Amino acid sequence: MQKLKKKLEVNLDELEKEEIIDSEEHKMLQEIKETYKTLPMFRSFFQQKYFVLNDIDFPTPDGKYWQARREMWVHFEGLVLAYFSRKKEIAKQGFYNAKIRKLQEEMKKYPEGSPDYDILRAKIEFYQVKSNECEYKIRLIEKEIRERIREIKGWVKIIKELEPQLKYSKEDPEEHQKEFWNAKIEVEKKIREIYGVKDEHEAKKVYSAISGVEKANKDLKDKKE
């Protein structure tokens, strides 16, 4: 995955100076700030393949295929919205920076310490805070975009892996429905027989986790062989 080019610019020094936080807390927050580069926002590839597309909810390759396409679209849509959010924040930041430059020119007309000078200085500080806030949001949105691309890549890979296993059309989502729902009902019947109806919800969670891990272990074993 491509690395984020810029740091998350958040200056927390003032919080310590104003004694809102102590030095140890400041150090802790600085360290947490750095984790944004590597902290995943969405699912890992392992989760996508073995737990989202589990054998209870999606017991057939065709069912898994169409769900993978839906998941991929959700993240593509989120990526596009994040793109527009970033553009809006960049535009807002440009507006605030332009206001700052204009106010700085106006300040030159007044002696330092005069009421008009102080008002303009306060306005500049306000717009600078707004500009910094935009910068922070831009960095977070860029992180979201990178993370959505990472998950989309995972779904693309899974879709390609599933395509050779498909029994029905890649264009018509209706063709596989009858076999998919019959298979799903059979799996749920099996769960009821093993765990009982009262514990069905918890049984599904346990069965899903076990089947996901078993499938992952089998894939790893096949790769080694």
Quote the pTM value.
Answer: 0.79
Those residues with Cβ within 8 angstroms of residue 62's Cβ, 6 or more apart along the chain or in another chain: 166, 167, 168, 175, 176, 179, 180
Give the C-alpha separation, 15 to 141, whole Å. 25
Residue type, 36: Y
Helix axes 200-224, 177-195, angle to 10 degrees: 110
Break the chain into its structural domains and give their ranges.
1-39, 44-168
pLDDT digits (tens, 9 = 90+) for 97-129: 999 999 999 999 999 999 999 999 999 999 999
pLDDT digits (tens, 9 = 90+) for 162-219: 999 999 999 999 999 999 999 988 887 887 777 665 565 666 666 665 666 566 667 6
Give the C-alpha separation, 83 to 77, whole Å. 10
Percent of the chain exceeding pLDDT 90 equals 58
Give the C-alpha separation, 208 to 8, whole Å. 38
Query: Among 168, 188, 163, which residue's Cα sits nearest to residue 178?
Result: 168
Query: Among 35, 52, 34, which residue's Cα sits nearest to residue 43?
Result: 52
Percent of the chain exceeding pLDDT 70 equals 80
What pLDDT does residue 63 have? 96
Handedness of CA 84, 86, 90, 96 (dihedral sign): positive
Query: Among 67, 36, 72, which residue's Cα sits nearest to residue 154?
Result: 72
